[in-house]
Amino acid sequence: MAGRIPQEFLDRLLGRVDLVEIVNTRVPLRRAGREFMACCPFHAEKTPSFSVSPRKQFYHCFGCGAHGNAIGFLMAYERLEFPDAVEELARAAGLDLPQTPGGESGPSLKPLLEWIARADRFFRQQLREHPLRQRAIDYLRQRGLTGQIANTFGIGYAPPGWENLTQALREAGASFDDLVAAGLTGRDEQGRPRDRFRDRIIFPIRDRRGRVIAFGGRALDGDTAPKYLNSPETPLFHKGSELYGLYEARAHNRQLQRLLVVEGYMDVVALAQHDIAYAVATLGTATTAEHVERLFRSVSDLVFCFDGDRAGRAAAWRALEVALPFLRDGRQAGFLFLPEGEDPDTLVRGEGRAAFERRLEHATPLADYLFAELRAQVDPDTLAGRARLAQLARPLLEKLPDGSFRDLMDERLRQEAQVANTRLRPPASTVASPADRNLRLTRTPLRKAIALLLYRPELARQTTDDPLALSDDGEPGVKLLANVIAVLRANPQLTTAALLERYRDTREGAILERLAAWEPGVPEQDYRFEEEFGDILASLGRRDDLRERLPDILLRRGSPRALSVEEREAVGNLGKAKKV
Ligand SMILES: [Zn+2]
């Protein structure tokens, strides 16, 4: 949903809260040198590799790679979505959330939510009272649904006719534009208002807070096309990020362990009828990264359920590709292909809950599915075929986050391809020691300079002249370094955590978060931050390829110069606006 939490508020919030305290109330911490340690709450382990840095206000797990600031911790630990984590932190810090125009409680979305809530009541009332309601009730009964489950999901009925809902809401004061914006009404060729949903069973689609934001409709007449119809994209409803049934599944069980991803709302409701109350459905779109991210925020175990036909297999492969970047340690994904002609609805009605759940237990693990599909594309009996297998697998495995799952997958590829000397990464049989990690993280001077800045944001004050001159350079690391310097110069009070927050969900953010794990290998007072940072900047300026373009980024010690108006604007554009 559109709406922003102002950057200044996030800065202030992250400057106010203490991550050590936030973590410690949930996962007891022990001091270890500069940091605090605990056994990681995000993967199973016996020796602590989860560290929290009070200076950086950042946590990092050397075992599974989990990391983030206070907002990220609450999102991961309490399984909250971004705005809820911010709200929770703000409450704990005693700050009032700013109410911004265009925000969820701003003026633009509120009337839409109200009209949709009224439409929801209208559809439910029709299911109870409309003269033709029996057809709808017969359909639901025939699908094995009780009144109770229909009620849980708020199922309703849109009667036949062109203007039932439109008229009812117009009488209640809605303007035609309101109803179009809410996705409830359209116009026909003659320009007459037309209800979007006619003679359909109605499935309200709820957002993460349980508010109805859209509808799905299943045609009652077998000849009506399309059989399934959803609300259009509206300011409230984005198909690519919403999941039908997620709110209901979480409301049913706050300690969900597993979610099953199916294709239709009838599947979700039918499964819930058989006590499998943990299914969700995408809404007429392929699985997106946003879907997977939301799902993994709720559970660590996903099973994707698809038809066994060609279309189902193609959709499953797409889901696999989308899921790979989210498979950090402790998370898993499996694939269940249904027998010909069955869907979850027919299957669970036919064989019952226990048999269906046994299928879930035997879902194909993602790793098996991935290699089976690739093997089917090559001739694994020949050397050329195995080389091709490695070639196909490598870009997929590259998408996996660092961690032991990725190491296992690399190892598995080595076995599958039976190539002794590939250019794969060596397996990390043990967790990297801090020294190895530092080496790996900071193998270029650019990365080292950024890591130093993330450790000590005040180093940015040492730079003079125009750090943004760097951003014209083609080298991505240079651009990022310039960005970071510019942001820190414009906002000298930023903590590492607040700095990282500005890059949330960006490619740059992923790089910065990894570099934020860097630690000086010696006691702080023995480490010469300023000198090292200065040397790197100076050496960057001396490089031939940089020197011409960047004559003036050499480090000078002195008071920071105020940014020009243009610089401020450029800096303002760097931080990504937050979606609420
Ligand atoms: Zn961990």
Identify the residue with better confidence: 133 or 523.
Answer: 133
User: Which range is most confident: 269-273, 498-502, 546-550?
Assistant: 269-273
Ligand 1 centroid to residue 50 C-alpha, Å: 6
Contact, 5 vs 105, CB < 8 A?
no
28 has pLDDT over 50? yes
State residue 278's pLDDT score. Answer: 97
157 has pLDDT over 90? yes
State residue 569's pLDDT score. Answer: 47
Listed residue (417, 377, 376, 420) closest to 397, CA to CA:
417
The C-alpha angle 285, 287, 293, rounded to 5 degrees, equals 130
Identify the residue with better confidence: 466 or 458.
Answer: 458
Q: Which 3 state secondary structure label does DSSP give 375? A: helix
Chain segment 40-58, per-residue pLDDT in tens: 998 888 899 999 999 899 9
Whether residue 226 has a cis bond before it, omega within 30° of 0: yes
- Bridge partners, residue 302, by sequence: 259, 333
- CB proximity list for 335: less than 8 A, separation 6 or greater: 303, 304, 306, 316, 319, 320, 363, 364, 366, 369
Listed residue (455, 457, 451) closest to 536, CA to CA:
451
* pLDDT average, residue stretch 407-421: 82
Which bin fits 292, alpha (ψ -120 to 50), beta or left (φ > 0)? alpha
In a 13 Å sphere around the CA of 2, the CA atoms on its Cβ side amount to 12
Chain segment 300-317, per-residue pLDDT in tens: 899 999 988 888 999 999
In the chain, DSSP finds a helix count (H) and a strand count (E) of 25, 16
Around ion ligand 1, which residues have CB less than 5 A away? 40, 42-43, 61, 63-64, 66
Ligand 1 centroid to residue 491 C-alpha, Å: 32
Listed residue (211, 201, 196, 195) closest to 112, CA to CA:
211
Contact, 239 vs 222, CB < 8 A?
no
State residue 33's pLDDT score. Answer: 87
Q: What is the mean pLDDT of the chain?
A: 84
- CB proximity list for 532: less than 8 A, separation 6 or greater: 448, 452
Q: Which helix (H) or strand (E) holds 138?
A: helix 133-142
Range scoring the smallest mean pLDDT among 159-173, 206-220, 497-511: 497-511
Chain segment 66-106, per-residue pLDDT in tens: 899 999 999 988 888 888 899 889 988 888 888 654 444 44
Contact, 42 vs 64, CB < 8 A?
yes
438 has pLDDT over 80? no
State residue 92's pLDDT score. Answer: 84
* pLDDT average, residue stretch 213-239: 90
pTM beyond 0.85: no
Identify the residue with better confidence: 63 or 183.
Answer: 183
- 570, exposed or middle or buried, with CB in 10 Å at 0-12, 13-18, 19+? middle
Ligand 1 centroid to residue 44 C-alpha, Å: 7
Ligand 1 centroid to residue 51 C-alpha, Å: 9
State residue 372's pLDDT score. Answer: 94
Chain segment 555-569, per-residue pLDDT in tens: 333 333 444 444 444
Gap between the Cα atoms of 125 and 128, Å rounded: 5
* pLDDT average, residue stretch 136-152: 94
Compute φ and ψ for 67, nearest 5 degrees.
Answer: -160, 165
Which stretches does DSSP call E strand in 318-372?
A: 332-338, 364-365
Ligand 1 centroid to residue 328 C-alpha, Å: 9
Ligand 1 centroid to residue 71 C-alpha, Å: 17
Identify the residue with better confidence: 431 or 171.
Answer: 171
Ligand 1 centroid to residue 39 C-alpha, Å: 8
Gap between the Cα atoms of 220 and 290, Å rounded: 32
pLDDT tier at 225, thresholds 50, 70, 90: confident
Listed residue (262, 251, 176, 172) closest to 211, CA to CA:
251
According to DSSP, residue 244 is labeled B
473 has pLDDT over 90? no
Listed residue (509, 527, 514) closest to 459, CA to CA:
527
Paired sense of beta strands 35-38 and 50-53, if any: antiparallel
Structure tokens belonging to residue 544? 């031939």
State residue 1's pLDDT score. Answer: 37
CA distances in angstroms from 472 to 269, 449, 485, 549, listed in the order given = 54, 18, 14, 8
Gap between the Cα atoms of 292 and 321, Å rounded: 11
pLDDT over 90 percentage in the chain: 50
CA distances in angstroms from 76 to 389, 411, 539, listed in the order given = 35, 28, 40
Ligand 1 centroid to residue 49 C-alpha, Å: 7
Gap between the Cα atoms of 307 and 341, Å rounded: 8
Chain segment 174-196, per-residue pLDDT in tens: 999 999 999 999 988 888 899 99
Ligand 1 centroid to residue 58 C-alpha, Å: 14
Ligand 1 centroid to residue 278 C-alpha, Å: 26
511-542 CB burial, b ≥16 within 10 A, e <16 = bbbbbbbbbbeeeeeebebeebbbebbeebbe
Q: DSSP characters for 56-90?
A: TTEEEETTT--EE-HHHHHHHHS---HHHHHHHHH
